[in-house]
Amino acid sequence: MGYSEVYDRWKQDPEGFWMDAAKAIDWDRMPSKALFDENAPLYEWFSDGMVNTCWNAVDRHVEQGRGDQVAIIHDSPISGVTRRITYVNLRNRVAQLAGALRAKGVEKGDRVIIYMPMIPEALEAMLACARLGAIHSVVFGGFAASELAVRIDDCKPKAIIAASCGLEPGRVVHYKPLLDGALKHCDHQPDFCVIFQREQDVAQLVEGRDVNWHGFQYGVEPAECVPVEGNHPVYILYTSGTTGAPKGVVRHTGGHLVALNWTMKNIYNVDPGDVFWAASDVGWVVGHSYICYAPLIHGNTTIVFEGKPIGTPDAGTFWRVISEHKVRSFFTAPTAFRAIKREDPKGELIKKYDMSCLRALYLAGERADPDTIEWAQKVMQVPVYDHWWQTETGWTIAGNPAGIEPLPVKIGSPTVAMPGYDVQILDEAGHPVPAGELGAIAIKLPLPPGTLPTLWEAEDRFRKSYLDHFPGYYETGDAGMKDEDGYLWIMARTDDVINVAGHRLSTGAMEEVLAAHPDVAECAVVGVVDELKGHVPVGFVCLTKGVERTEGEIVKECVKMMRDRIGPVAAFKLAVVVDRLPKTRSGKILRATMAKIADNADFKMPATIEDPAILDEIRDALRTIGYAQ
């Protein structure tokens, strides 16, 4: 069957399609049906099945004779370590950890925050929670203590599992002081914290609250897998929205298992036993779905890579990892390739490695620019597949179904909608527009299994953010078009979210930080084009009257505040002081126009602009930091 037949088969019989896909999962009780639509427009999948994620990702492979296969390869050029963990080892380690968590009172439904770098123990912590039916929430290491605190107060974890440190090139990130700092500001306190001590930094434990990862597992009874309902949350993952408060995307167990398993063959074209590598971070959705869960559920070997595309030690690291571990399908963000291309434009380093194992490169997380795709194709000599998805969906909305039938690549398009997604381009009134016309990208409800059913304890916000604007649809927040062949083209966000080096950030959250500076009266943050990171944030601040300190001092403080409050990952290094911000007559700041000026792009003078002369002031200010040239 080709792609069209598979897609049509889903469209004609979604229930049959997903019940068939569900057969690849080990259920303790098979669900009676796939879709539960009693509370439409809120939908759930496989709700009355009973199942365990950890069983499907680990134990069943041991039972089926894959025990000696390597499940996880930890490749850490930063610490100089390579470690392999087989499925049987993984099962034993996870069961022991889960046993220790249970002995300290963690049970089904309890939340556990995981704050760890790219080490196998991060995956083991996720799987141990899933084994017990506890709901994990992983927090990315590049966030500041206050971001961690917001997440702790929102999901109220019974336990926090953290490492003593993360390793960035040339710098040890001390996680423990960040965790202690976060807990000082939290209303909610966990019962206990588990600390995994790394040799690069042994953290001080707080007596009575912190336990040592190894010590607390000593002598405990390993835990078995606890079956949970198909609609029991396996995790919460916070992502950036329009405001400073992150959204807690909920993932239900049953749909997550079924959908992720389906993608491994049909999209990534790997078979059980093959090595699959997603170079991302466990703190992001790509890390949840494609470093941890999908490859393990499907019986693949996954790679936990603790390094960067360049500088650890050079721009050939990716090629070394691929050839050394025989990676068949490789997934990363375009920014990583832009970094490699900048260091090694002729692709000299790849010639040192035998890359014959590799079948395809998959790019996602941000727009893949044509230059980068063409360069990657030329250097790697394999198909390069762009695919489009979001934290909310957890897996590909539009991609190239390489395992069904590789479709011709149109550079700049992530190809076509996957089965489960009826993607429509809508005008402002919510009517589908003809092929080739721009509009808001929306997905006809219900979303497929594995996508978000709601936001953590915030159903109203879920409805407001995604369902209310276009009744009957899920609003993606992206704008773009569909061409005559049904290929999708993703052009821009329709909200205040920007994408910096494949990391999703909220300019609204950054504005809240700037506004907290005592000398800032008003501010705006916009994303401007950056050759390496895709976009970077630029802050515009108007000062309160009578401030006597220099603009330079204030800008420096703003940069520091952003690093302290959101974290280094915000990559906020540029800000300018301006007298006024351009606004519409109703007072709306013209952020998109400011971004266009920075990027030297054409723009239409907004008809409702209050005073067009302010745009010249913005242009002058941007020139002082190298933009709008």
Our CB check for ligand COA shows the closer of 247 and 533 to be: 533
Give the HSE-up count for residue 65: Cα atoms under 13 Å, Cβ half-sphere. 1
Say how far apart CA 52 and CA 130 lie, in whole Å. Answer: 7
Partner from ligand AMP, ligand COA, none contacting 168, C-beta within 5 to 8 A by type: ligand COA
Candidates 450, 480, 502, 527: give the one binding ligand COA (CB under 6 A): 502
CB 554 within 8 A of CB 518: no
Cα separation values, 90 from 57, 58, 69, 253, Å: 10, 7, 10, 20
Candidates 386, 496, 519, 530: give the one binding ligand AMP (CB under 6 A): 386
Helices (H), 566-612: 591-598
Residues 6+ apart with CB under 8 A from 145: 178, 179, 181, 182, 185
Near ligand AMP in 406-435, by CB under 6 A: 414
Strand 520-530 to 70-76 pairing: unpaired
In the sheet with 228-229, reading across from the earlier edge strand, the strands are 27-29, 50-51, 228-229
Segment contacting ligand AMP by CB under 6 A, of 118-126, 455-463, 472-480, 542-550: 472-480
Our CB check for ligand AMP shows the closer of 372 and 391 to be: 391
Beta carbon of residue 203, minimum distance to ligand COA (angstroms, whole number)? 16
Interface characters, 264-303, with ligand AMP (x: CB under 6 A): ---------------------x------------------
Say how far apart CA 299 and CA 448 lie, in whole Å. Answer: 23
> How much helix, strand and coil, in percent to the nearest 5, is found in the chain?
30, 25, 40
Candidates 91, 151, 387, 591: give the one binding ligand AMP (CB under 6 A): 387
Our CB check for ligand AMP shows the closer of 193 and 285 to be: 285
Candidates 365, 403, 419, 537: give the one binding ligand COA (CB under 6 A): 365
Per rule CB under 6 A, is residue 258 in the interface with ligand AMP? no
Cis, bond preceding 313 (omega within 30 deg of 0): yes
Cα separation values, 301 from 1, 90, 113, 290, 380, Å: 27, 12, 25, 11, 22
Candidates 101, 127, 134, 173: give the one binding ligand COA (CB under 6 A): 173
Our CB check for ligand COA shows the closer of 89 and 146 to be: 146
**530 phi/psi in degrees, rounded to 5:** -130, 135
Partner from ligand COA, ligand AMP, none contacting 442, C-beta within 5 to 8 A by type: none
Per rule CB under 6 A, is residue 14 in the interface with ligand COA? no
Segment contacting ligand COA by CB under 6 A, of 483-491, 501-509, 579-587, 599-607: 501-509
Q: Which two tokens stand for residue 365?
A: 């997380």
Candidates 198, 247, 320, 504: give the one binding ligand AMP (CB under 6 A): 504
Cis, bond preceding 41 (omega within 30 deg of 0): yes
In 3-state terms, what secondary structure has residue 216? Answer: helix
In 3-state terms, what secondary structure has residue 467? Answer: helix
Our CB check for ligand AMP shows the closer of 120 and 142 to be: 142
Beta carbon of residue 136, minimum distance to ligand COA (angstroms, whole number)? 17
Per rule CB under 6 A, is residue 336 in the interface with ligand COA? yes
Per rule CB under 6 A, is residue 475 in the interface with ligand COA? no
Number of residues that bind ligand COA (CB under 6 A): 26
Partner from ligand COA, ligand AMP, none contacting 571, C-beta within 5 to 8 A by type: ligand COA
Near ligand COA in 256-295, by CB under 6 A: 280-281, 284, 286
Partner from ligand AMP, ligand COA, none contacting 591, C-beta within 5 to 8 A by type: none
Segment contacting ligand COA by CB under 6 A, of 73-81, 234-242, 441-449, 564-572: 564-572
The burial of 91, by beta-carbon neighbours within 10 Å (0-12 exposed, 13-18 middle, 19 or more buried), is given as: buried
Candidates 131, 367, 482, 591: give the one binding ligand AMP (CB under 6 A): 367
Beta carbon of residue 500, minimum distance to ligand AMP (angstroms, whole number)? 10
Partner from ligand AMP, ligand COA, none contacting 142, C-beta within 5 to 8 A by type: ligand COA
Per rule CB under 6 A, is residue 414 in the interface with ligand COA? no
- Among candidates 482, 479, 386, 490, which has minimal Cα distance to 441? 479
H/E stretch holding 192:
strand 192-196
Residue in the block written with tokens 């005559």: 484
Would you give the end-to-end CA distance of the chain in angstroms?
53
In 3-state terms, what secondary structure has residue 107? Answer: coil
Our CB check for ligand AMP shows the closer of 183 and 373 to be: 373
Segment contacting ligand AMP by CB under 6 A, of 33-41, 201-209, 473-481, 603-611: 473-481
In 3-state terms, what secondary structure has residue 625? Answer: coil
- The CB density around residue 324, as the number of other CB atoms within 10 Å, is 15
Our CB check for ligand COA shows the closer of 257 and 340 to be: 340
The amino acid sitting at 551 is E
H/E stretch holding 173:
strand 171-174
Q: Which two tokens stand for residue 328?
A: 């068949």
Beta carbon of residue 495, minimum distance to ligand COA (angstroms, whole number)? 19
Partner from ligand COA, ligand AMP, none contacting 504, C-beta within 5 to 8 A by type: ligand AMP
Partner from ligand AMP, ligand COA, none contacting 426, C-beta within 5 to 8 A by type: none
- The CB density around residue 470, as the number of other CB atoms within 10 Å, is 20
Per rule CB under 6 A, is residue 490 in the interface with ligand COA? no
Per rule CB under 6 A, is residue 309 in the interface with ligand COA? yes
Partner from ligand AMP, ligand COA, none contacting 335, C-beta within 5 to 8 A by type: ligand COA
Per rule CB under 6 A, is residue 101 in the interface with ligand AMP? no
Q: What is the DSSP string of 310-367?
A: SSSS-TTHHHHHHHHHTEEEEEE-HHHHHHHHHH-TT--GGGGS--TT--EEEE-SS-
In 3-state terms, what secondary structure has residue 129? Answer: helix
Partner from ligand AMP, ligand COA, none contacting 404, C-beta within 5 to 8 A by type: none
Candidates 134, 364, 425, 524: give the one binding ligand AMP (CB under 6 A): 364
Per rule CB under 6 A, is residue 394 in the interface with ligand COA? no
Per rule CB under 6 A, is residue 366 in the interface with ligand AMP? yes
**DSSP for residue 434:** P
- The CB density around residue 226, as the number of other CB atoms within 10 Å, is 20
Per rule CB under 6 A, is residue 112 in the interface with ligand COA? no
Cis, bond preceding 309 (omega within 30 deg of 0): no
Rule CB under 6 A: which residues touch ligand AMP? 239, 285, 364-368, 386-391, 414, 476-478, 490, 493, 499, 504
Rule CB under 6 A: which residues touch ligand COA? 117, 141-142, 166, 168, 173, 280-281, 284, 286, 308-309, 333, 335-336, 339, 365, 500-503, 532-533, 568-569, 571
